[in-house]
Amino acid sequence: MTGTTKTIHGEWSSRFAFILAATGSAVGLGNIWKFPYITGENGGGAFVIVYLLCVALIGIPIMMAETMLGRRTRQDPINTMEQLTEEAGADKNWHYVGWAGVSAGVLILSYYSVIAGWASAYVIKAFTGSFSNANAEAIKGIFDAFIGSPMQLIFWHSLFMAATMLIVVRGVSNGLEYAVRHLMPGLFGLMILLLGYAMTTDGYFQGLHFLFNPDFSKLTSDSVLTAMGQAFFTLSLGMGAVMVYGSYLTADISIAKTSVIIAAIDTIVALLAGLIIFPIVFTHGLHPDSGPGLIFKTLPIAFGSMTGGWLFGILFFLVLTIAALTSSIALIEPAVAWLVDSKGYTREKACIASGLVTWLLGLGTVFSFNIWSDVKLFDRTFFELLDYLTANLMLPIGGFAIAVFAGWIMKRQHSEQELNMPNAQYYQLWKFLICYVAPAAVFLVFLHVVGVL
Ligand code: PFF
């Protein structure tokens, strides 16, 4: 199929463009907020080693598989799974993998956009000097008042969704590629600037130590499973985003090489985020393990009191907003591509329909922080339930299914042809990882999240 089918959506103009787009999808809230925090809690360097192993042994093989499936058909995830199932003469039910992926994207974006809206609001708060000389209590007051106001959260959620859809509606070349070409260099540049600042703080070495000191005594079986879950979320795996980005990839580009590069950049960005956040936290005698509040409740205290904090506060939340934006366009693209491919919608109509559904769903997350904060199902608010359902269940199950499909269902000659590795041993290695290591590991994560293990 390679080279014979054309996508109707357009293609990445080069290998570099694909790397930028896939990296943009990978680098997001997961890297800048979650990775530093969970690393700190799970033994620092020891956790980083396990995480790197997960990225290498599970993340990269599954990323290769997802890209390969998408590129083979040049279609959205649902049609991709349908066509490839037919090609392999397999059970029709495999197309549910595509459905689950498209749905997971919409569900994740519905809450991702609300949190990204917080980041955008904090750019303005930093700019208007809300944090200047504020103590911990005042900063907490600002945060609580903000998330307690449905109108404010709806405003920022709407703005973020609108920005996402305005990019997506312009298509692959003029929208997605144009956006990542302009936003990603800015993101890297700002991060380097922030790192430069962090290196001048008194707490830099303490931060370095916290992040890289391998304290194996803190490493539990739980940490290993957390590292695996994080590898999935951060690489955007298991939900068709990588598949749909792969479908816009030309046949001449090496899937293996690009996957390794994307995973490496994503990991470097996560480490950079830790190297920026922890030194600032330590310099100001703050606590690194404050969870979801770390970025919104702790860092502003530091920005409010440090030299240049006004500018660095603005830059930090800008980085977070940009990172979230280049991820959110990847979250909605599978749904948009499917509406165009299968329902015959124009791209505009597809964007309005999928954007509206996502926006509406997002209201549930907005309200779960205020007027619905007491409404709980299985002891979780709407937002917590959605987060659990998508990140902990849908992505691992999707990843497992993709690994099994690529390893066991797809004909060997097809995956061999599509991956087109220069060396037979590389292909053997991938085949071993995708057939045995990745499914077994993901199965363990799954057992863990449902509480069996
Ligand atoms: N990888 C993103 C992050 O780390 O924040 C989250 C994400 C984006 C997941 C796109 C899935 C996806 F398709």
By most ligand atoms within 8 Å of CB, the mutation choice from 111, 230, 234 for ligand 1 is 234
Q: Say what the pLDDT of residue 3 is.
A: 44
The one-letter amino acid code at 174 reads: N
d(CA 445, CA 301): 36
User: ∠ CA 77-387-97 to the nearest 5 degrees?
Assistant: 20
Cβ of 98 below 6 Å from ligand 1 = no
pLDDT in tens, the chain (453 residues): 444 466 778 899 999 999 999 999 999 999 998 898 788 778 788 888 899 999 999 999 999 999 999 999 999 999 999 999 999 999 989 999 999 999 999 999 999 999 999 999 999 999 999 999 888 889 989 999 999 999 999 999 999 999 999 999 999 989 999 899 999 998 999 899 889 989 999 999 999 998 888 888 878 877 887 888 889 999 999 999 999 999 999 999 999 999 999 999 999 999 999 999 889 888 888 777 766 667 888 789 888 888 888 998 999 999 999 999 999 999 999 999 999 999 999 999 999 999 999 999 999 999 999 999 999 999 999 999 998 888 878 888 899 999 999 999 999 999 999 999 988 999 999 999 999 999 999 888 778 767 777
For residue 181, with 0-12 CB atoms within 10 Å meaning exposed, 13-18 middle and 19 or more buried, which class applies? middle
User: Do 367 and 150 form a contact (C-beta atoms < 8 A)?
Assistant: yes
Question: Contact at 8 Å (CB) between 89 and 265?
Answer: no
Give the pLDDT of residue 110.
Answer: 98
Does residue 29's CB lie within 6 angstroms of at least one atom of ligand 1?
yes
Pairwise CA distance, residues 265 & 223, whole Å: 22
In whole angstroms, what is the distance from residue 33 CA to residue 451 CA? 25
| 424: exposed, middle or buried (Cβ count in 10 Å: 0-12, 13-18, 19+) | exposed
| The residue type at 215 | D
Output the CA torsion sign for 433, 435, 437, 442: positive
Give the position of tokens 């863990």. Answer: 448
Distance in Å, CA 201 to ligand 1 centroid:
31
pTM for the full predicted model: 0.92
- pLDDT score recorded for residue 36: 83
Contact between 2 and 72 under an 8 Å Cβ cutoff? The reply is: yes
Q: How far is CA 78 from CA 75, 123, 339, 340, 396, in A?
A: 8, 37, 10, 12, 18
Token pair of 190 as six digits? 């700002």
Q: Per the structure block, which two tokens stand in for 199?
A: 């290196």
Residue 2 has a pLDDT of 46
N-terminal to C-terminal alpha carbon distance within the chain = 42
Task: Kindly state if the Cβ of 25 falls inside 6 Å of ligand 1.
Answer: yes
Tokens 């509206």 map to which residue? 356
Please tell me if the CB atom of residue 244 comes closer than 6 angstroms to any atom of ligand 1. no
Q: Relative to the CA of 28, which ligand 1 atom is closest?
A: 5
CB of 390 shorter than 6 A to ligand 1? no
Nearest residue (by CA) to ligand 1, atom 12, is 236
Output the pLDDT for position 161.
98
Tokens of 316: 């930090």
